[in-house]
Structure formats: structure tokens, C-alpha cells
Chain A
Amino acid sequence: MLQRGFTGIISDVERGISEISLSDPYSFKKRTFLEAVKIIYEGALNFVLRYSRLAETLARNEMDEDWRDELLKIAEICENLSKRPPQTFREALQLVWFTHLILHVESNGHSVSLGRMDQYLYPYFKKDLEEGKMAYEEALELIKCFLIKMNTLNKVRPWSETKYKSGYPLFTTITLGGQTSDGEDSTNELTYLILEALAEVKLPQPTVILRVHSKTPDELLIYAARVLIRHGGGLPAFFSDEAVIPALMNIGIPLNEARDYAIAGCSEAVIPGKSLSFTGGDCYFNLLKILEITLNNGCNPRNGVCLCKATKDLDELRSIEEFIEEFRKQLSYYAKFIVPLTSITSAVDAELNPTPFASSLIDYRINIGADISEGGGPNSKYSNTIIQGHGIANVANALYAIDELVFRRRLITLKDLRTVLLNNWEGQQGEKLRRLVLHLPKYGNDIDEVDRYATIISKIFYDEIMNYKPFRGNIFGLSLQGLTANVPEGEVTGATPDGRLSGEPLADNASPHPGTDRNGITATLKSVAKIDHSLFINGNILNVKLHPSTLTDSFGNIDEKKISRFINLLKTFLIDLKGFQVQFNIISADVLREAQKDPAKYANLIVKVAGYSAYFVTLDKKLQGQIISRTEHVF
């Protein structure tokens, strides 16, 4: 888009129309598509011109000289963009905004991502600086304005979907850093500038992520860590080239292209301009529910429906391996539904919601004359249909508990365990058992005996899903991310062997169940790294809660020594252990106050107390109060 501009693409489209041959059986389809694109772009030109005229009108009546000059500049830029591709940084940024806006007008979003902004805007940035047309400060100001503009977009969803995506997210993601296609580090001044803008603007959107690889300069990571503290809302998130690139190559994308990846939405790895990870019409698997169904002979205890009756009675299962085999059979039964479910939504989407404008931006679609909703095309190896798996932490914990209590210690049979769970752990025996279970080792503590179940189940999930092919072609792409599905999905899942009460939320994404990771952050990272992330092209997300004192001194100032260790932590997890992604939440005082009122929910909140760390809930109220007041100094 930047290279061709609106007018350039119109001429491509016109040429495309003129080249359609009558003997082509798809000629009518291609023509319809291309003419639709042309209409949109002509509309886009008008749209841009209307801004130009409006700015001019406002300028005519403007008293303030500076603002008038600004308005005239705006008018000029918009008029230029209606005639030709952008030539300056500001024009390029403006065109990116218009494109982004029009994409949202067309399809309502979401997950329309901005790709590698620090890379594609760099030539314009560099040229303007070299020619003396723009200073750093102006570029920073423009980027900040752009980020603020991002927050003016919103989307209204039906309540059933809103529950799964709490917080009004549009999932627009900017990807920074990473490698060139030759494998060299691609950091540039814009990388820093966009991070700086993020820190200053402190808004929740867009998501900004930093790609980390073995040659990422420490200086950049330190800067990003400081931005993380300053921003205060978990941005930037960190992704690993060492995990993502193999995952892309695993689906047949050549190395030099894989190196050019960006993240779309939450954690989907895509090749800018080529990939389509279809975020609509995908399926969510409540893996813990499947475990519950397995424990109930293939029946859903909530409504008594038995779709895939178990072949073996619970009493016949002699080992955890046999139980997992029954789990796999249940998963296998439900897995095949992804085909009709996604096919229907994909087909209807193609018929009712074609997106010619979006299609025009995918670099082969104009040539083949087909909307992206139809899938296919010579480069379809870049696209996939998302399938998510939820509750991996709970499943791992549950399987370990079953193995320990039923098969090794023989404290209870599977049938009796099922009864206890159906009664939501009630009664003296149930309570005692639950307390026992809650003290068993959990995923997130770097204990191989539990973590191995996360590895095993995630692999089973992958194997089962990969048996099928989606309507849109190529493959289903897996992810253990879960948005906020863990809450509504928990509501329909009864009590489970990991100690969960009926209706309690599942763990989020690939993170440990809240309160259960008690061996410190290195242990949590190591547990998550044991999953084979190369199987999950649409990403696995790890949410880590950090107390600000992990990065600041007792007076709230950024502590350089702590930052230095923090980036080593990051590098070890992302580069050496090949974790896919990690994001950090720096806790605010409000959360700590909540923890005072409800300690059980925040059992794993650790505060660095000076020479030692402690669980916040074991501290007396006055001390908690003192720490809360300390936290307030940080931001």
C-alpha cells in the first residue's frame, strides 16, 4: 500500500480487469471482485479528499496561526494521498491510519494488525531526517498521535462474545524489532521511538510486541523493560524468534520469509502481506471439559448428554496412560466437528462478508482476482484457521492428581472421585480430599512429573486436530491462548480433579492456575517452556504478575541491576528455552488492597521484601499497608 498508494492500486486493478479473458471460467467472479475493489478505492480517494476539504474549510475560519498552518498541512497531505503514494514519513503514517480505518469500516475488525511498523516506515523516516525535513521530536509526536488515534476505534459485540473478550479489545498489534530476512538484527531508531511513544501515551491499545532473538541488543531490551514499567499496563509483550520461526517453518514457510514474521491479534504468527490467520469462525476447545466428560464415561454431567460413550468402564482403567487414552478418544470425537463448524462459518462469511479492501492488501489477491474469504490461491500455505485449546494448566494438574491419588497411592477409585466431584467436593471426605489435592505439585513450578502432562496433552491436541483440513485451505493452526474464555468456560465445567470448584474459572492461556505457581518466576518460565511451542503457530501466551519491586528499588526508582537481571531472565526464557511469548503485569496498589481482603485468591502474590521475598498474605496488615503505600510511589 505504501509503495503503490491508493492511486497505484487502482491502476493495478484496472489493468487486472483489462486482462481478464472471456475464456476464463472464473472471469465473472474475478471481474466482480476487481470492480468491487475499484469502487472501494475510489471511495477511499473521496474519503481522503473530504478530509482535505474539511481541513481547508476549518483553516479559513481559524484565528490561531499555528493551528491554521497545521490544518493547511493536513489538507495538503490528504490531497497528496489522493493523487499519489506517500513520500514523507508523515504522509506514510497518515496512509497507514486511513488504511487501518477503512479496514475497520469494512469488516468491523478485529485483529487487524499493523505488522512491522518500525521496518516499513523506516525508509520514509530516514529520508526525512537526512533531508532535514523532520526532527526526531516531530516523529515522536506523530507516532504518539497515531497511538492515540488507535484508541478511537471500538467494536460492539454480542454479549455471548463479549464474555470471551472482556475489556473492549480490538487486538491491533504492532510488531517491533526482530530480524531481517538474512538473519541480522533489524533494530532501528523507529523501534526505540515507537517504544518511547508507547511509554508516554500509556494507553491499553494497540498491543505492542517486541521480537527477541539471539542478536537482539541488550540496550533495546533494557529500554523495553523501562517502557514496561513506565507504561504500567503490561506492554510491550515479548515474543521469541527462536520459537516462532521454527513453528512457521514447520508449516512450510521458507526461512527467509519466516524471519519477516509479525504478530497479529494476540499471538498469531503471520507473514505480513501474505498471511491470513482467520480469527473469525474458529473453534475453542475446553480441554478441561473434555477431561470432565472422560471422567463421566463420555457424558456431560451438566445436562446428561452422552455423545461419545466410553468404550471402557472407569473401573477397567489401570493406569494414567489408559485414562489419557480415553481422553484422547473423547478429544478425537469432538475434534472432527471443527470441520463442519468452521466450514459453515467460513462459507457463510465468504458469501455474506467478502472483504475486497482487505483482500487488496494481500499481495497476490489482485492477481488471482479472488476475495480472501474464498481461501485458496497459490500462496495459501500462509493461511490457517485458528483452533484454540483452553485450560492446559488445569488438565495437567488434574491428570497428575488422578495418577497420584487413584493409581499410585490408591486412596480412591476413579468412580468415587467422580462422585466427589459431582458433589462439588462437599462433605468431610470431599473437603479433606480437596485439601490434599490442592497441596499436590502443580504445573508452573518446574516439576517434571506434573509438567509432562502439559507436554503430552498439548501434543495429543495437535495430533488430533492436524487430521483435518479447513474449508479455507491449508491447515488448522493451533494455539493455547484463550482470551477471557477461561471465565465462561469455567462456568460450564464442574468440579475437577485439580481441585477446582464447580464453575470456577480455568487458568488463562498457557499460564499456571492462579495461586499455584509458588517456586518463583524461573520455575514458571521453565514449566511453560516444556510445551513444544513449534506446534502452535497461533501462539501460546504466558501472563506473569510481577511486583514493581522486582524492577525498582524500595523508593520506587528503576533499579538498573534488577533490570539487567530481568532482561537475562527474558533472554533465557525466550532464546535458550524457546518459550513462545511472555507478558508481564506490574501490580498496582489497588490489586494489593484486594489481596488484603481476599488472601486466598492472591496466594501466589510475592513481594520482594528487601533481602528476602514473602507471600503477601502472610504479612500482617500493617506491613501490607506499608507495602501498599510503597507501591504507590512507583507510578
Chain B
Amino acid sequence: MDRGLIFNIQRYSIHDGPGIRTLVFIKGCPLRCLWCCNPESQKSQPEIMYYKNLCTGCGKCVDACPTGASRIKNGNVILMRDLCITCGACVNVCPNNARRLIGFYVTVDEVLNEVLKDMKFYSRSGGGLTIGGGEPFSQPQFTRKLLREAREHSIHTAIETSLYASPTIIKDVMRFTDYLLADIKHIDPVKHKEFTGVSNELVLKNIRLIVKESLVNANNIVVRLPLIPNVNDDHENLIGIANFVKSLDSEVAVELLPYHELGKHKYEALGMEYPLYKKFKHIFTPSKEYIEKIAELLSSLGIKIVKT
């Protein structure tokens, strides 16, 4: 498929693979992780984000809205999402930038043209293109085509994924991937389903497949651990993941992704509730010492930790 739905192209990305990279954010994800910091990436359609804190109640969006989704209720401007057709009219008229339309359709060529703009920066730094999101495999044909075209232009390719996809598709896309960043949310399949909505069997199977068949070089694979205190930071899980990684290849590295709340405010703008708080109390952002302790634990088990 030549067209994809993305919600951002971010240049000078430095956390998503080596060197200076351009990160393309795919919209759509089969998982619903409780701690997701990009909630605007989950749905596979464009949506409106409405930042109430920037709204001054001028009502221009109400006038512009063709369906009445934007309306005044009790003196405040509200957005009735079931009436919203994401036409974006409100976005254009809002003088305070309180409305954003997240998600737009692009062709592979359009994305590639943007990615090519930083070629000189990639060359110098060993950087390139990273596809993330959302879940790149939720639009496998688009992702595959984009990676292949990037390769043809000698651009280094990376993918950030949950690996929740069919092995056939994975194999097909990995052919064009130089660097892999894959999440393991939890080693226990029941807990994994509780926290993300899906089981982890497919994920673990795919990681094993990739390493076994050298679809990506082991030293270009980073397993990422979202570290959510009191949720998935118990020793059993950490040791379980460590054992799993060790069973793959000694070159596979692990990167810790400490929990943060910097995406929390986006939920309200999307008309969603923050799911983590619904299920758990006692959530906190880990301190430097906490993270270091976990890194030490994993190191002592023989795991190669990526320094962040």
C-alpha cells in the first residue's frame, strides 16, 4: 500500500537508534498499554485533540463545526466526539491553537522526500530513518515500502515495535531493517494481557525468530523494558526477562525505559481516561538511584545494558 496514516515526522531524533535520525510516527496500535505515553497513536483514524487549557471560549469552532460536535454547554466549549467527523474545520479557525488534528495520510514518496532532507546529518552521525508510533506493523505494507525505499537511498533503517504481528509479516519487513528496538512489556503472558490487552507469546516468538534467523544482526537489536514501579518491576519479571534475553544472544542489549507521566495530559485532550490510575495506586516516577539499582541487577545477570 502506498498510503499510510502517520501523525508526525520528527527530525533530529536522538533516542530511537544510532546517530541523528528522522522518526516517522505511524498511527494505529493493536496494544493498549496502561502506561502509554503516546495515546494519540493508538486509534487507526485521525482524531481531534482539544486542549481545554488553551481555550478562551470564543466559540469560533462552534460556528465552524458542520455537525455540531463542537458546541457550548454550560458556558464552556465542549467536543462531542461521537458527532465529530474529524474534518479539521475547528483546527483552522481556533485563534489559540487549542484544537489539533492528529493523523494525516501520506504516500511513501512524500515521507521519503522529508526523510531525505537530513541525509547529510545521517551520513556524519551514522543515523537514518526510524519508524515508530503507534505500531509500525499495524500498517505493514506502508512500513515495508518505506523501509525498502529508504534502503535504496542508502539510508540506515530502524524500527521501534511491540512485535505483535504475524511472523510472516515480520520476516518480510525485517529484510529491510538494519536496527531493531523491541519492547518486552512483561514476561508473564497473563500479566502481559492485563497490562497491554494482548498476550506476549507472539512477541517472544518473533524476537526468537529474528535472532535465530539473523534477520537483524544481534548487536543491532535492543530490547526495551518499560519500567513501571509497582506494576512490572518485580524481581520475578526482571529475572524472567533477563533469562529470556540471555537465551537469545549475548550481543542483544537491553534498554530501560523508566515510567514518566509526561504523556498523561494528552489523555484528557483526547477525551480519554488515564488507564493506569484506574487499575493502580502508588504509581511514581522512578528516581535515578532506583533505575541504577535495576540496571545493576540486570548487569549482574550478564545482560548488556544500554546506557541512556
Give, as a whole number of angstroms, the nearest-CB distance from B31 to chain A. Answer: 15
Q: Does B81 contact A (CB under 8 A)?
A: no
Knowing A446-B117, A523-B11, the reply to whether A571 touches B37 (Cβ < 8 A) is no
Knowing A611-B37, A612-B37, the reply to whether A523 touches B117 (Cβ < 8 A) is yes
Give A132 to B186 CA distance when docked, in angstroms: 63
Please determine whether B53 and A555 come into contact, CB atoms closer than 8 angstroms: no
Q: Given the complex, which residues of B lie within 8 Å of A562, measured CB to CB?
A: 14
Chain B proximity mask over A504-525: 1 for CB below 8 Å, otherwise 0: 0000000000000001111100
Knowing A522-B121, A569-B12, the reply to whether A623 touches B20 (Cβ < 8 A) is no
Chain A proximity mask over B128-159: 1 for CB below 8 Å, otherwise 0: 00000000000000000000000000000000
Q: Which residue of A lies closest to B53 (CB)?
A: A620
Give, as a whole number of angstroms, the nearest-CB distance from B32 to chain A. Answer: 17
Knowing A568-B121, A577-B120, the reply to whether A553 touches B53 (Cβ < 8 A) is no
Q: Given the complex, which residues of B lie within 8 Å of A553, measured CB to CB?
A: 308
Please determine whether A572 and B14 come into contact, CB atoms closer than 8 angstroms: no
Q: Given the complex, which residues of B lie within 8 Å of A446, measured CB to CB?
A: 117
Q: Given the complex, which residues of A lie within 8 Å of B124, measured CB to CB?
A: 568, 571-572, 576
Please determine whether B10 and A612 come into contact, CB atoms closer than 8 angstroms: yes
Q: Given the complex, which residues of B lie within 8 Å of A550, measured CB to CB?
A: 14
Give A562 to B257 CA distance when docked, in angstroms: 16
Please determine whether B125 and A610 come into contact, CB atoms closer than 8 angstroms: no
Q: Does B250 contact A (CB under 8 A)?
A: no
Q: Given the complex, which residues of A lie within 8 Å of B288, measured CB to CB?
A: 555
Q: Which residue of B lies closest to A526 (CB)?
A: B117
Q: Which residue of B lies closest to A570 (CB)?
A: B124
Give, as a whole number of angstroms, the nearest-CB distance from A440 to chain B. Answer: 13
Please determine whether B125 and A599 come into contact, CB atoms closer than 8 angstroms: no
Q: Does B54 contact A (CB under 8 A)?
A: yes
Q: Given the complex, which residues of B lie within 8 Å of A565, measured CB to CB?
A: 14, 19-20, 125, 127
Our pick among B19, B53, B265 for the contact of A568 (Cβ within 8 Å) is B19
Give A241 to B11 CA distance when docked, in angstroms: 26
Give A577 to B118 CA distance when docked, in angstroms: 11
Q: Given the complex, which residues of A lie within 8 Å of B265, measured CB to CB?
A: 619-620, 622-623
Give A577 to B124 CA distance when docked, in angstroms: 12
Please determine whether A572 and B257 come into contact, CB atoms closer than 8 angstroms: no
Give, as a whole number of angstroms, the nearest-CB distance from A21 to chain B. Answer: 60
Give, as a whole number of angstroms, the nearest-CB distance from A314 to chain B. Answer: 29
Q: Given the complex, which residues of B lie within 8 Å of A522, measured CB to CB?
A: 11-12, 20, 117-118, 121
Give A564 to B261 CA distance when docked, in angstroms: 27
Please determine whether A435 and B95 come into contact, CB atoms closer than 8 angstroms: yes
Please determine whether B54 and A599 come into contact, CB atoms closer than 8 angstroms: yes
- The total of Cβ contacts below 8 Å across the A-B interface reads 98
Q: Which residue of B lies closest to A568 (CB)?
A: B125
Q: Does B219 contact A (CB under 8 A)?
A: no
Q: Which residue of A lies closest to B132 (CB)?
A: A611
Give, as a whole number of angstroms, the nearest-CB distance from A195 to chain B. Answer: 22
Q: Does A561 contact B (CB under 8 A)?
A: yes
Q: Does A58 contact B (CB under 8 A)?
A: no
Please determine whether B15 and A568 come into contact, CB atoms closer than 8 angstroms: no
Please determine whether B37 and A572 come into contact, CB atoms closer than 8 angstroms: no
Q: Does B307 contact A (CB under 8 A)?
A: yes
Give A18 to B303 CA distance when docked, in angstroms: 82
Knowing A520-B10, A610-B37, the reply to whether A621 touches B53 (Cβ < 8 A) is yes
Q: Which residue of B lies closest to A556 (CB)?
A: B288
Q: Given the complex, which residues of B lie within 8 Å of A523, measured CB to CB?
A: 11, 117
Among A553, A572, A612, residue most surrounded by chain B Cβ atoms (within 10 Å)? A612
Chain A proximity mask over B242-265: 1 for CB below 8 Å, otherwise 0: 000000000000000100111111
Knowing A561-B307, A565-B125, A609-B262, the reply to whether A520 touches B11 (Cβ < 8 A) is yes
Please determine whether A610 and B307 come into contact, CB atoms closer than 8 angstroms: no
Q: Given the complex, which residues of A lie within 8 Å of B268, measured CB to CB?
A: 620
Give, as a whole number of angstroms, the nearest-CB distance from A89 to chain B. Answer: 37
Q: Does B38 contact A (CB under 8 A)?
A: yes
Q: Does B274 contact A (CB under 8 A)?
A: no
Chain A proximity mask over B8-28: 1 for CB below 8 Å, otherwise 0: 001110111001100000000
Q: Given the complex, which residues of B lie within 8 Å of A564, measured CB to CB?
A: 125
Give, as a whole number of angstroms, the nearest-CB distance from B25 to chain A. Answer: 8
Q: Given the complex, which residues of B lie within 8 Å of A61, measured CB to CB?
A: none
Please determine whether B12 and A612 come into contact, CB atoms closer than 8 angstroms: no
Chain B proximity mask over A567-599: 1 for CB below 8 Å, otherwise 0: 011011000110000000000000000000001
Give A562 to B95 CA distance when docked, in angstroms: 36
Q: Given the complex, which residues of B lie within 8 Å of A622, measured CB to CB?
A: 265
Give A569 to B100 CA distance when docked, in angstroms: 30
Please determine whether A610 and B121 come into contact, CB atoms closer than 8 angstroms: no
Give A523 to B13 CA distance when docked, in angstroms: 12
Give, as a whole number of angstroms, the nearest-CB distance from B137 to chain A. Answer: 18
Give A613 to B15 CA distance when docked, in angstroms: 11
Q: Does A618 contact B (CB under 8 A)?
A: yes
Q: What are 27 A-B interface contacts by the 8 Å CB criterion?
A: A520-B11, A522-B12, A526-B117, A553-B308, A554-B260, A560-B307, A562-B14, A565-B125, A568-B125, A569-B12, A572-B20, A576-B120, A576-B123, A609-B262, A610-B15, A610-B260, A611-B16, A611-B37, A612-B10, A612-B37, A614-B262, A617-B54, A617-B97, A619-B265, A620-B265, A623-B261, A626-B261
What are the 8 closest A-B residue pairs judged by CB atoms, nearest first? A568-B125, A520-B11, A620-B265, A609-B262, A576-B120, A520-B12, A572-B124, A522-B11
> Interface of A with B (CB < 8 Å)?
431, 435, 446, 519-523, 526, 550, 553-555, 559-562, 564-565, 568-569, 571-572, 576-577, 599, 603, 609-614, 617-623, 626-627
Besides A569-B20, A611-B37, 5 other A-B contacts (C-beta < 8 A): A560-B307, A561-B307, A572-B123, A610-B262, A623-B261
